[in-house]
Structure 1
């Protein structure tokens, strides 16, 4: 007895009860969807808005914010006080992003992660051509 392949509703052919090719693709799609939902949900726990930033910037910002909450010194992250407002501390996240924190005496409170372009535009004395 020769078994014949059946044609599934998706257009694929095979011997089984379901199209395993489509089932595997669907499982991968479901897994990726769950990972994306988990990633989006993780932003609800952040003390500042990090949603529109690249993934590497988000991860590094979260790590630095966590370490600052554990009272680690901002200078360990190459942070420095701004000249025009000594209570604001700028910590480089990457070549293009900075974490701005405010010195509250006993602790630093993160305020925003901004692009280096935006950071330069708000500094006093900066003149654009």
Structure 2
């Protein structure tokens, strides 16, 4: 998505922590980051995890909080679909919908109704993060 690699790079340069919780395999995620970004995630939870530790399980979020000694309000989970929102909410972590990812009305409606923040464009997320 246009502007997303730059957002990640800027966030990382500012001292931010980037983690990925995905239904993709870790090597696929790393390859994608290598091709598109100049940063790598600090931690990845991919499909290789045991089923009960995959999204939308709270396990990845709890491990991220523990690993980086973060409080819930020091994080923002960004996702484009319901499982990510469910996962974040189960851990009381603020969540933002990546509205730029889907133009399907039922998905947009769910994300607007259930995410703490809805960002129609990458720029909107960047403006929020870098207030």
Higher strand share: 1
- Larger RCO of the pair (alpha carbons < 8 Å, separation 6+): 2
What's the TM-score once normalised by structure 2's chain length?
0.24
Q: Which structure's CA Rg is the greater one? A: 1
What's the TM-score once normalised by structure 1's chain length?
0.24
